[in-house]
Chains A and B, each alone.
Chain A
Amino acid sequence: QKEVEQNSGPLSVPEGAIASLNCTYSDRGSQSFFWYRQYSGKSPELIMFIYSNGDKEDGRFTAQLNKASQYVSLLIRDSQPSDSATYLCAVPGGSYIPTFGRGTSLIVHP
Chain B
Amino acid sequence: GAGVSQSPRYKVAKRGQDVALRCDPISGHVSLFWYQQALGQGPEFLTYFQNEAQLDKSGLPSDRFFAERPEGSVSTLKIQRTQQEDSAVYLCASSLGTSGTYNEQFFGPGTRLTVL
- Which residues of A does B touch, CB under 8 Å? 4, 6, 8, 32, 42-46, 49, 88, 90, 92, 95-103
Q: Closest CB-CB distance, B107 to chain A, in whole Å?
A: 4
Does the CB pair A43–B33 fall under 8 Å?
Answer: no
Shortest beta-carbon contacts, A-B, top 7? A100-B42, A43-B107, A96-B99, A96-B102, A102-B42, A100-B43, A102-B41
- If over half of B's interface residues share one DSSP class (helix, strand or loop), that class is named, otherwise mixed; here it is loop
- If over half of A's interface residues share one DSSP class (helix, strand or loop), that class is named, otherwise mixed; here it is loop
Give bound CA distance, A45 to B44, whole Å.
Answer: 16
Q: Closest CB-CB distance, B114 to chain A, in whole Å?
A: 14
Does the CB pair B102–A42 fall under 8 Å?
Answer: no
Q: Closest CB-CB distance, B94 to chain A, in whole Å?
A: 12
With contact pairs A42-B109, A43-B107 given, residues A101 and B42 touching in the complex (Cβ less than 8 Å): yes
B23-43 interface (Cβ within 8 A of A): 33, 35, 40-43
Residues of chain B within 8 A (CB-CB) of A95 are 48, 56, 99
User: 28 interchain pairs (CB within 8 A)?
Assistant: A4-B42, A8-B40, A32-B102, A42-B109, A43-B91, A43-B109, A43-B110, A44-B43, A44-B107, A45-B107, A88-B42, A90-B42, A92-B102, A95-B56, A95-B99, A96-B100, A96-B102, A97-B48, A97-B99, A98-B45, A98-B102, A99-B45, A100-B35, A100-B42, A100-B44, A102-B41, A102-B42, A103-B42
Q: Closest CB-CB distance, A89 to chain B, in whole Å?
A: 8
